[in-house]
Amino acid sequence: MVLRGYRSSSRGSTEASLVKSHNIYVGSSGLAFFSESRIDSITARLGHNRFQQAMENISNCVKSFIEPIHPPGSLDGESKETTDFVKLSPELANSYIEAFFKSAHPSYPFLDRRQFETNIFEHGAESIFDTSPSLFALYYAVLAIGCQYEGGDSFKLENCLAQKLFRVSLTCLPRIVMRTEGLLSLQALVAMAVFAQSVSCIRYGNMLITEAARMAVYLRYNRPVRNGEDAAQCARAFWLVYILEKLSSFVCYRASILDDEDIGIAFPGSLDPLCGGFDYFLAMARFARLLSITYGSLFTISATTLSHETIHGAIDKLIEEVEGWKSTLPRLFNPDYPFRPMDFNNSLCLNASLRLRYRYYSIVMALSRLGSLTYTSKQQRLAKYRSLACDSARNVIELTTHIDIHPTMPNWYLVVMPISACFVLFDFVINNPAHAETGKFLSLLGIVAGYFNRLEFCTDGVVRSTAAAEIAEMARQFIAGKENRAEPSMMQASDGLQERTKSGVSKDQDEFWDAVDNPMSELDLSSSSYIDFFQGSDLNSFWEILW
């Protein structure tokens, strides 16, 4: 597209901050919600710069989590010294392995337990450092994850056994990448990536997922395995990489490494179905496929050339597909039904339900936000998008009371989704102070502020609650000020307040996402046709199992 008109200007996102979106192009990340110009507009509306400061505080907090804390070359993997202070007794190691397969593996089913234990106990944990760095890294990553569930982890890095075990695994990374051992190498990267989903290790998470995706393609596990390796294990490892990489790419607003059109390996199903046979692994694979289609249709650089009607048509079609995915979920896991903790027999099922609901609301929020920020003359369609965004944000915040704040809970659920929902409702309240739902949304902002207070307490200050509390307080003060100013105006004639614009809307009427500061309607958009990813026979037949 760029080469076709080489004299045209560059397109795409050039955000200077991880929590600020582009002024024109709408991204897939819920965290990068406000553009610089949008922040300026809200600041002018509020009459102070506290919102700007709050966004800067959030940005600095995010940077502190993702920036590397070790200098380049510190993970050379050439020394065995790091293992000296984390040697475990056989009994303790076995308890961590048991905890991994009991508590983590049902959600991340990529290992054959019997094969894994046979490899470890036949060769000996210490002796495999030199002979098989991949198996060594896999072993210590499994120990680290199991240690998390056995109370050996915290949100802080200092004096944490699980983190020390993970660091031992991580020291093998260069040798794993440079000296691939096939399936074992991919499994080691997957195990490390699973551990790094937590708040304390988020700086490594995306890197490990990306490396795993690259290795999966390099090993050709996206196609049927023909080199004598265990086909079922290769398939499980590949599809877990697929899920993690598609989720990560969408949240980080970047294209996926894994090409959906070049995947031919059959979906294997889960070894450990949850709750009465429900295949959570399959449900997540289907959702990851939806994210991939959504990103390719609406959030790529090429998508910025689509006409407004094409974008809205694609959004409506994708919302239908998302609803279709939701309809395949059992009642306990379906967002259409109330979330009641007493309905679940164990925490695995409860957390799986919570995660699936959050995933559903995340994609609905992304699609409805894009629809709300894209010009349309159909007010009914616009109202639908705004309602979907606010309803999803409300449900996300209401579910925060059920989040188990534990080091094993991925950062996306603990932080990203609640703060994204907070942004949606704050934006609505500031732009709709007189709306009938504003009072309810103020209460929800108070709830999410309370959740972040709880999160700060449980993480011992690792995650700060200040920004969420400030945003809730700013919204409350703004509405209170509006109400105080409105009282005397009720005693006066208000012809000026009823002045109509050419479109028939009052100039003083506050409107949610009423037109971005640099509206897409001002761009020179082409009328490129939307590629319907859901119809026709061009999709490989193996995708049928996902649907």
pLDDT digits (tens, 9 = 90+) for 335-385: 999 999 999 988 999 999 999 999 999 999 999 988 887 766 678 888 899
Give a three-class secondary structure readout of 104-127. HCCCCCCCCHHHHHHHHHHHCCCC
Q: In 3-state terms, what secondary structure has residue 283?
A: helix
| pLDDT tens readout for residues 397-438 | 999 999 989 888 998 999 989 999 999 999 999 988 989 999
Structure tokens at 380: 């009914």
Angle at 371 between CA 476 and CA 28, to 5 degrees: 85
Phi, psi of 274 (to 5 degrees): -95, 145
User: What is the model's pLDDT at position 376?
Assistant: 64
* Under 8 Å between Cβ of 372 and 386: yes
Cβ-based neighbour number of residue 277 at 10 Å? 8
CA distance 483 to 487: 7
Cβ-based neighbour number of residue 481 at 10 Å? 13
Where residue 124 falls (left for φ over 0; alpha for ψ -120 to 50; beta otherwise) is left
CA distances from 362 to 59, 137, 205, 255 (A): 20, 33, 20, 18
User: What is the model's pLDDT at position 444?
Assistant: 97
Q: Across-strand partners of 21?
A: 35
HSE-CB of 32 using CA atoms within 13 angstroms: 24
User: What is the model's pLDDT at position 454?
Assistant: 94
| pLDDT average, residue stretch 287-296 | 95
Residue-wise DSSP of 62-90: HHHHHS-SS-TTTT----SGGGTT----H
* Under 8 Å between Cβ of 188 and 138: yes
Task: Look at residue 460 and tell me whether its pLDDT is greater than 90.
Answer: no
Residue-wise DSSP of 447-491: HHHHHHHHHHHHTTTSS--HHHHHHHHHHHHHHHHHHHHHHHHTT
Burial class (CB in 10 A: 0-12, 13-18, 19+), 504: exposed
DSSP annotation of 375: -
Burial pattern 129-155, b for ≥16 Cβ within 10 A else e, equals: beebbbbbbbbbbbbbbbbbbbebbbb
Burial class (CB in 10 A: 0-12, 13-18, 19+), 123: middle
Give the contacts of 466 (CB within 8 A, at least 6 positions apart).
54, 57
pLDDT level of residue 211 (50, 70, 90 thresholds) = very high
| pLDDT tens readout for residues 136-167 | 999 999 999 999 998 866 777 666 899 899 99
Burial class (CB in 10 A: 0-12, 13-18, 19+), 484: exposed
CA distance 428 to 492: 28
Task: Look at residue 222 and tell me whether its pLDDT is greater than 60.
Answer: yes
| pLDDT tens readout for residues 466-520 | 889 999 999 999 998 876 665 554 444 344 434 433 333 333 333 444 433 333 3
CA distance 385 to 387: 5
| pLDDT average, residue stretch 195-209 | 88
What is the pLDDT of the chain when averaged over all its residues? 80
CA distance 546 to 131: 39
Task: Look at residue 443 and tell me whether its pLDDT is greater than 50.
Answer: yes
Q: In 3-state terms, what secondary structure has residue 326?
A: helix
Return the domain boundaries, the chain.
44-67+292-483+507-522, 81-262
Residue-wise DSSP of 497-532: GG-B-TTS-BTT---TT-S-SS-GGGS----PPPP-
* Dihedral sign of CA atoms 432, 435, 439, 443 in order: negative
User: What is the model's pLDDT at position 308?
Assistant: 87
Containing 34, the helix (H) or strand (E) segment is strand 34-35
HSE-CB of 257 using CA atoms within 13 angstroms: 21
Question: Residues for the chain: how many in total?
Answer: 547
Task: Look at residue 221 and tell me whether its pLDDT is greater than 90.
Answer: yes
Task: Look at residue 217 and tell me whether its pLDDT is greater than 60.
Answer: yes
pTM as predicted: 0.83
Structure tokens at 468: 């969420």
Task: Look at residue 228 and tell me whether its pLDDT is greater than 80.
Answer: no
* Residue with the two structure tokens 């660091």: 167
Cβ-based neighbour number of residue 85 at 10 Å? 8
